Structure 1
Amino acid sequence: MKRLLLSLVALGLALTAPAMAQEEQSTAPYAYRQLDDPAKETKAQDLMESLRCLQCQGQSIADSDAPIAGSMRSLVRERIAAGEDPEAIRAWLIERYGDYVSYAPQLTGLTWPLFAVPVFLMLIAFLLLRRRFTGKTGDAK
């Protein structure tokens, strides 16, 4: 009888553990809660939409449900609420996670080829097309 009672208690705890885990206090208080000041919340939203979720990689942290995105949303809101400039927050996140975290890459010594190569390819395409359509078709005298 005692063994049966212990088994039932263990089973009950095993079944309720996931529910209890979901009720725990989040470590990211502003992950799903907006700031009280609408102007600051707008700044936070604009910044969050320009930051990439490191886990999802195809979504911004504003759209992602990944735990790291929630932590990053909370961090952004906390820093905006404290009066920090959004670009300073972006710079801090880039320093911490790398350029990949930002949807708005900065022009640096390492990233300039990413901006220059498309311009160079467009110039080559323009010159080839110009030569093709304005070239001599032959002398018909």
Structure 2
Amino acid sequence: MITHKLYKILFIFFLLTITQCYKDPFFELSVEVINEDLEPVANCTVSIEITDLDTGNIISGEILNSEYADITNDAGIAIFSFENKAFVTARACFFLDEMTGMCKQGHVYLEDNETKTLTLMIEENNCNYCF
């Protein structure tokens, strides 16, 4: 009789312990933008393009909102958070003046509970995706 009640109490304690330990997975991306001298580039626009893993199609711009574009801080870093796994293209655009732009793009696959870091070294190039 006592052992039966003890088993119930242990079972309830076990269930409470399991349900409190679950944490939602996070998917984060840190994009660092540097110049050719390996110095961080502040105020650089970083935009994100997401590819659907199931279909391989790019998720349309209508679904994405302003949280998938950011400007780097003084350390040249922009941080993004996502709800699901994704294959991400990050594009950094920096304009020296109206006619001269520097850019770079890179790709990364986001994984569960890991902050991926992508370093982009901007260079003068044909930056069609910046305009």
Normalised by the size of structure 2, how large is the TM-score? 0.34
More helix by share: 1
Of structures 1 and 2, the one scoring higher in RCO (CA 8 A, sep 6+) is: 2
Max radius of gyration: which structure?
1
More strand by share: 2
Normalised by the size of structure 1, how large is the TM-score? 0.32
